[in-house]
Amino acid sequence: MNKKKIALIMGTRPEAIKMASIIYALKQRSSDIDTVVIATAQHRQMLDQVLSLFNIVPDIDLDLMRPNQSLNDLTCSVLQLMQKTLEDVKPDLLMVQGDTTTVFAASVAAFYLKIPVAHVEAGLRSHDLYNPFPEEANRRLTSVLAQIHLAPTPLAKEKLLNEGVNEENIFVTGNTVVDAMSTLLDAPFSFQGSPIENLPLSQHRVILVTSHRRESHGEDLKNTCLALKGIVQRFPDVIIVYPVHLNPNVRKTVMEILSDAERIALTEPVDYLCFLNLMRNAHLIVTDSGGVQEEAPTLKKPLLVLRKLTERPEAFNAGLSKIIGTSTQKIIDEISLLLTDDKAYQAMIGNNPFGDGKASERIAELVCRWAKNQKPLLQYENEFKS
């Protein structure tokens, strides 16, 4: 019997991080399946960092990043290039991860060619189409097109069931970011040679901040920056580390308000391994990121989320994160609480609701069973239980 061919596609740093361990697990099953790795390079520089970190060389690199391209331009590019690529590769299954424009457009291209789609990290929902934008729409639309739904948590499965997805096509695997982090954090690491190397981290309580999302641009980001300035003025033992995103809309606001602030270190973006170790050294984390909402609880770090709502409520439901919005005073109050009240701080440290480090093995086994037409693809007792 001919082996089935599985194509995996990624365009951004988060996709590559969460696909890396799946690629490893699938390649170890080369006697059962063939694996083809496709990069769109939606985010060229940041994607390349992760590919290098995990020693992944794409079989096909579409290199479609262009300066200041619109979402329409990007979607059209992915659709057109993926049609030709899929026609050439002829995969039996396309695997996509998450909620990027690469994920949505590649899924459409596969659908038009009647190639089934497996969606890793399926079922995340904020229930607000414009928050986060465009990710909420991307993941909902991808769910309509996918035939195999790899939900990271039981709650994500519940969201899919509520939308009418057939339960027989949903499998709870855990989130592969936990697998990636487990591997990387076992390796020796030094900040030497990074933008962090000269910061006096050991002499202060470190607050790690990231804020870059489209919804945060403008007044919300300004409010956040003013809050950070207020915190260092109030707490002399605190240092804030803020790797500033390359987006000019972010950099303009952040630099104008914080460039001269004492004990606020504005650094260039750092690679993922450096960022993981920054999180590990942080006292607490403040972010508007999606992925950090999974990573901080994995590291048992209290997390404050600079959003009005989240598509990852598992940590919030477990008391491991708080959604605090972008009011300057609210941000100051919530950070101050965790810096002064040890009981409140310890209450935000608990068991990780996102995974157990075995998600990639579950997915690889599931794909092999799919290739052999074995049912069920994943036994219920082998699914991730948070």
CA distance 62 to 386: 37
Please confirm, yes or no, whether 212 is among the known catalytic residues: yes
CA distance 365 to 59: 22
C-alpha dihedral over 209, 210, 214, 217, to 10 degrees?
A: 40
Residues 6+ apart with CB under 8 A from 33: 3, 4, 5, 6, 26, 367, 368, 371
Q: Are 306 and 300 in contact (CB under 8 A)?
A: no
Q: Find the catalytic residue in 119, 125, 204, 212.
A: 212
Please confirm, yes or no, whether 119 is among the known catalytic residues: no
Please confirm, yes or no, whether 245 is among the known catalytic residues: yes
CA distance 342 to 283: 12
User: What is the token pair recorded at 361?
Assistant: 């093995």
CA distance 206 to 339: 11
Please confirm, yes or no, whether 99 is among the known catalytic residues: yes
Q: Are 384 and 174 in contact (CB under 8 A)?
A: yes
CA distance 263 to 235: 10
Q: Find the catalytic residue in 29, 44, 245, 283.
A: 245
* Helix intervals (H) in 54-100: 71-89
Q: Find the catalytic residue in 15, 34, 43, 99.
A: 99
- Beta strands across the sheet bearing 303-305: 264-267, 238-243, 205-210, 284-287, 303-305, 321-323
Number of H helices, E strands in the chain: 15, 13
| Nearest one of 79, 33, 40, 34 to 58, comparing CA atoms | 40
* DSSP designation for 196: T
Q: Are 336 and 233 in contact (CB under 8 A)?
A: no
| Nearest one of 77, 131, 59, 65 to 311, comparing CA atoms | 131
CA distance 56 to 382: 28
Q: Find the catalytic residue in 34, 43, 119, 121.
A: 121
Q: Find the catalytic residue in 15, 34, 135, 294.
A: 135
Q: Find the catalytic residue in 214, 217, 280, 369.
A: 214
Residue count of the chain: 386
Q: Please list the active-site residues.
A: 99, 121, 135, 212, 214, 245
